[in-house]
Structure 1
Amino acid sequence: MPDVRLASPQGKWILLTTVLGSSMALLDSTVVNVALPRIGRDLDADLAALQWTVNAYLLTLAGLILLGGSLGDRYGRRKVFVLGVVWFAAASLLCGLAPNAGVLVAARALQGVGGALLTPGSLALIQASFHPDDRGRAVGLWSGFGGIGAAVGPFVGGWLVDGPGWRWVFLLNVPLALVCAPIALRHVPESGDGRTHTRFDVLGAVLGALALALVTYALIEARSGSLVVAVSAVAGVAAGVAFVSVEKRRPDPMMPLGIFASRQFTAVNLVTLCVYAAFGGFFFLAALQLQVVVGWSALQAGTALLPTTALMLLFSARSGALADRIGPRVPLTVGPLLCAAGMLLMLRVGPDASYLVDVVPALLVLGAGMVLLVAPLTATVLGSVDASRAGLASGINNAAARAAGLIAVAALPLVAGMGEEAYRSPTAFDSAFGRAMVVCAGVLVVGSAVAFTTVRSLPPGCRKPECRTHGAVMAPPLEGERARGRLS
């Protein structure tokens, strides 16, 4: 039984290294959007290259995050966590030194691999190291500090872009890793379940990532109308079908399809896809809108986006408590509608927009909707399956959210009629941004309708700190305990 006490020196070191590790991935998911206009200008990149700068990371992260958790279970959580930290830092260094957009995109894909290794391991190390009496408080502190990191991420990103330059958005990860990895090796006890008799579902992971990659490529490059794009789209769908077939037949699949026998689990994942697709598209385009159209600096744009994550950090626990009393149906129905209203209010954000009059009201309404829905969504995911499969359910839900953001960043500019050079023209971008916000709002309304018609049962009273106190806006929080008998 784990016996490290939170008040001990070792306990503090464990908390520090896990917070640093998770913060690297959390910061990266929020700061890069703010840097995109400067990256495009310095590397002479078109809109497709900026989409790939975001999506290359999301692609490998979403495709491999379930496999990353299983590697830690089998080979040792500390070992895989440290490997992820070092890998992430090396890829970040390559991002920071990238001479052109092609190298940057490739390095971002490598970053996602590192993120898939360290993200599941961060919370799992806390669960596996601390004494049961201290575990809840340790997870709460981990969630709170991680939420603070996510909240200040856009501000830090903007300051770096306007100061030392956009390359430091990535290079900052290197000194963090140089602190994090040695502390983990020295102070974090190794843990794992010691079982190695099952096989890894490498084929499933490859097919899942390939399907996402091909569909993403087809959506981003669809403007060209080439035969390669059409072939990619068909091949992507075929890879998706093959993924489902493989997962159905394997004795130890990465994503057991039987878990979707729970109608509640299936329903809440459909809501997740709608909600996080809209969030992914919004945060990708909003940072560009504030800089390209409104004319703000990267620092001003990053600071402007603080209210959403700050609201989540401050009030997610109260939202979770409310959902415990009234059930998840109302929060999961009303929350997306509030988010949709916030995105429609963003239609007022154009040239010479006022922060207090135009931007703040939209972000406050959006943030209120996010506060209302994220904690109940996580609790409902965990409560819709047997407790022994909570880790697996959380991992699938987290991967689904990241995949939704990936597809949204690829598809939304196409749907909104955004040309390759649109971000260099304030007028053209402003017009396309308005259409994109209407599309995002529509997707959220669909998510609300799904929740209203399908989410029924009461939540199980999820009081896990990682469900309640966080500031992550790009994906729901992961549950720390891995599912037993799967992926281990």
Structure 2
Amino acid sequence: IFSATAGTVITLNLSRVLQAFAGAAILPASLALVLPLFPESRRTTAVGLWSAAGPLGAGVAPGVAALILANAGWRIVYLVSAPVALLMFWAGQRLLKELPTPPDQQKLDLVGAAAGTLAIGAAVTAIMQGRIWGYTSALTALVAAVGVLSFVVFISNSFRHPEPLLNLHLLRRRGVMVANLVNFLVGITSQSIWIVWPLFMKNVWNFSTLEVGMGVTLGPIAAGFSTLTFSRLADRIGSVGLCRLGTALQVVAVAWHFTQLDAEVNFWSAFAPGIMLYGFGWGMSIPLLNGVALEWVEEKYYGETNGLFSTLRYAAAAIGTAAVFALLTVTSGVEALPYYDQILGFFLVASTSGALAMWIKIGKAPGRERLAN
């Protein structure tokens, strides 16, 4: 409602920040509520079903948003989500059971929250503003130094605080470490490429808002189908092999767009295969990666493990988005093609790094009794 009624850009941005806080709170908590309802043998399916909600919603949203934008304006896009949120709140109150709060729960990690936020903010600022200030300028170096110092404070505090913002001790478990490394590297592309695709279709191919909205739905639809299919299969054959194949498919998809997209409009032959393959690979890997990490922790750490996974994904998204706007200095017309090649090349390197990291040996997760001991 605040976003729909915003009178200035600053008010709109503040409202979006509030939405981001809400989303950051909901994601890890929601999975922590869902997982105990499933037996251990079906935990990967549970994570997959939970993860499928995202791409399935994303498959519907662009088309609906494009229709609303074409007929009623951007404010209505925000306003229509309010009754949906109220319905979800009502359903949650009636159907969800609260998890017990540990009796020895400590105070909030305010230092970690401040240091982590400052570290990400400084990194994003240095990347985006560096092209204006100069990447070798004193101001860019100062902002980058603040980011590095804040990151060091965050890491140090996380290992000392009794209830840290992120439980980094979990990264000592091999499965958690590898899953989150891949999650971060792949997340640089998987979140921010959704900015590049609409910009390319609208500004280079001159697609209408409705055409852009309908065009990008192919990726989420493929991702939702893939997630539902392979999360069930992973319970029987394991997740790691599917994650390796899924991350490799994402590399192929980015490489396809890197080599095929140009000024000539070829949606079905140049664009559609890439976005569908990317969505298919995403659904085969990213939701299962979260499941890989969860196999290595006790049930009491599910919320913290999912919080770590989500936080690293959003940190990667922030860096990837900053890179998009740092490299895409020209977004329209044929003269913009070299800049799109630059960002797609960057995405190709990040995706390839993630796919290679997936081959780090993980081994078999220890049993629950061994984890407890």
* TM-score in terms of structure 2 length: 0.85
**Higher alpha-carbon deviation: 143-152 or 205-214:** 143-152
SS of 1:94's equivalent in the other structure is: coil
**Higher alpha-carbon deviation: 438-447 or 111-120:** 111-120
What residue ranges of structure 2 are gaps of 5+ in the alignment? none
1:448 maps to 2:355: yes
Q: State the Cα deviation string for residues 370-419 of structure 1 (Å, max 9, x = none).
A: 233224312211113334323321220111111101111012332x3x22
Match of 2:98 in 1: 191
| Residues 291 and 258 of structure 1, relative CA distance in 2, 3 Å threshold | same
Q: Is the 1:319–1:375 Cα contact (8 Å) retained in structure 2?
A: no
Amino acid at match of 1:109: V
Q: Give distance in 2, aligned partners of 1:227 and 1:206.
A: 24
Match of 2:109 in 1: 201
The Cα shift of 1:196 comes to 5.0
1:379 maps to 2:291: yes
The Cα shift of 1:163 comes to 2.1
Match of 1:287 in 2: 198
Amino acid at match of 1:204: G
2:20 corresponds to which of 90, 112, 118: 112
Match of 1:359 in 2: 271
Q: State the Cα deviation string for residues 304-349 of structure 1 (Å, max 9, x = none).
A: 1222221222232432344455544433333222212211222323
1:311 maps to 2:219: no
Q: Give distance in 1, aligned partners of 2:38 and 2:351.
A: 41
After TM superposition, list the pairs within 5 Å mapping 1:152-301 onto structure 2.
152-182=60-90, 184-185=92-93, 187-188=94-95, 191-197=98-104, 198-225=106-133, 227-301=138-212
After TM superposition, list the pairs within 5 Å mapping 1:381-460 onto structure 2.
381-414=293-326, 416=327, 418-419=328-329, 422-423=330-331, 425-452=332-359, 454-458=360-364
SS of 2:206's equivalent in the other structure is: coil
The Cα shift of 1:161 comes to 2.1
> Sequence identity of aligned pairs in percent?
25
Q: Give distance in 1, aligned partners of 2:342 and 2:58.
A: 28
Q: Give distance in 1, aligned partners of 2:154 and 2:179.
A: 21
Q: Is the 1:260–1:266 Cα contact (8 Å) retained in structure 2?
A: yes
Q: Is the 2:48–2:227 Cα contact (8 Å) retained in structure 1?
A: no
| Residues 178 and 376 of structure 1, relative CA distance in 2, 3 Å threshold | closer
The Cα shift of 1:242 comes to 0.3
Q: Is the 2:223–2:281 Cα contact (8 Å) retained in structure 1?
A: no
Amino acid at match of 1:450: A
Q: Is the 1:270–1:450 Cα contact (8 Å) retained in structure 2?
A: yes
Q: Give distance in 1, aligned partners of 2:170 and 2:194.
A: 31
Q: Give distance in 2, aligned partners of 1:377 and 1:169.
A: 32
Q: Is the 1:342–1:366 Cα contact (8 Å) retained in structure 2?
A: yes
1:338 maps to 2:246: no
Amino acid at match of 2:196: L
Q: Give distance in 2, aligned partners of 1:127 and 1:160.
A: 36
What residue ranges of structure 1 are gaps of 5+ in the alignment? 1-92, 462-483
SS of 1:396's equivalent in the other structure is: helix
Q: Give distance in 1, aligned partners of 2:343 and 2:54.
A: 30
Amino acid at match of 2:265: A
Q: Give distance in 1, aligned partners of 2:85 and 2:126.
A: 35
SS of 2:254's equivalent in the other structure is: helix
Q: Give distance in 2, aligned partners of 1:125 and 1:319.
A: 22
Q: Give distance in 2, aligned partners of 1:399 and 1:305.
A: 25
The Cα shift of 1:123 comes to 4.5
After TM superposition, list the pairs within 5 Å mapping 1:5-84 onto structure 2.
none
Q: Is the 1:204–1:247 Cα contact (8 Å) retained in structure 2?
A: yes
Q: State the Cα deviation string for residues 166-194 of structure 1 (Å, max 9, x = none).
A: 22222222232344445555x35662414
SS of 1:333's equivalent in the other structure is: helix
Amino acid at match of 2:231: G
Amino acid at match of 1:203: V
What is the root-mean-square deviation in Å for CA atoms of aligned residues?
A: 3.1
The Cα shift of 1:440 comes to 0.7
Q: Give distance in 2, aligned partners of 1:104 and 1:168.
A: 14
| Residues 157 and 459 of structure 1, relative CA distance in 2, 3 Å threshold | farther
Q: Is the 2:124–2:322 Cα contact (8 Å) retained in structure 1?
A: yes
| Residues 112 and 146 of structure 1, relative CA distance in 2, 3 Å threshold | closer
Q: Is the 2:158–2:165 Cα contact (8 Å) retained in structure 1?
A: yes
| Residues 325 and 194 of structure 1, relative CA distance in 2, 3 Å threshold | closer
SS of 1:97's equivalent in the other structure is: coil
Q: State the Cα deviation string for residues 125-144 of structure 1 (Å, max 9, x = none).
A: 5568x799xx9999987666
Query: How many residues get paired?
Result: 360
Match of 1:64 in 2: none
Q: Give distance in 1, aligned partners of 2:351 and 2:46.
A: 34
Q: Give distance in 1, aligned partners of 2:306 and 2:169.
A: 15
